């Protein structure tokens, strides 16, 4: 495999990477990541096919990327809200 960004990742590498992402979500997050996890599961199933649908896979990974970026942006604010709520005994 080359380092050319236009060269698609080998399906085995993609399946492995998606499996690792699913494990990381299971280990570190629960409810708040279930939609992202569902996208990764669907992408993994598609990548495991003998002839994966490239357009579907690309769309799923794009959606997952956008969701992960949103989560990464909002997570610190959500953590702060939870800390304040715990201070006031709400959580």
pLDDT for the residue numbered 6: 56
As a residue count, the chain comes to 91
Q: Which of 80, 48, 32, 43 is nearest to 65 (CA)?
A: 43
Determine the Cα–Cα distance for residues 87 and 91; give it in Å rounded to an integer: 8
Residue 9 has pLDDT above 50, yes or no: yes
The average pLDDT across 5-34 equals: 74
Between the two ends of the chain, the Cα-to-Cα distance in Å is: 49
At 57, is the secondary structure helix, strand, or coil?
A: helix
- Asked if residue 26 lies in contact with residue 40, where contact means CB atoms within 8 angstroms, the answer is no
Write phi, then psi, for 4 (nearest 5 degrees): -65, 120
Residue 2 has pLDDT above 60, yes or no: no
Longest CA span, the chain:
54
Residue 7 has pLDDT above 80, yes or no: no
pLDDT (tens digit per residue) in 27-74: 766 666 788 888 889 999 999 999 999 999 999 999 989 988 887 888
The average pLDDT across 5-31 equals: 74
């Amino acid at each position: 495999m080359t380092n050319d960004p236009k060269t698609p990742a080998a399906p085995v590498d993609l399946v492995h990477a998606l499996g690792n992402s699913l494990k990381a979500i299971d280990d570190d997050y629960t409810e708040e990541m279930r939609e992202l996890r569902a996208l990764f599961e669907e992408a993994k199933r598609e990548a495991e096919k003998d002839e994966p649908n490239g357009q579907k896979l690309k769309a799923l990974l794009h959606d997952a990327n956008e969701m992960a970026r949103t989560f990464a942006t909002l997570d610190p604010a959500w953590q702060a809200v939870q800390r304040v709520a715990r201070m006031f005994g709400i959580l």
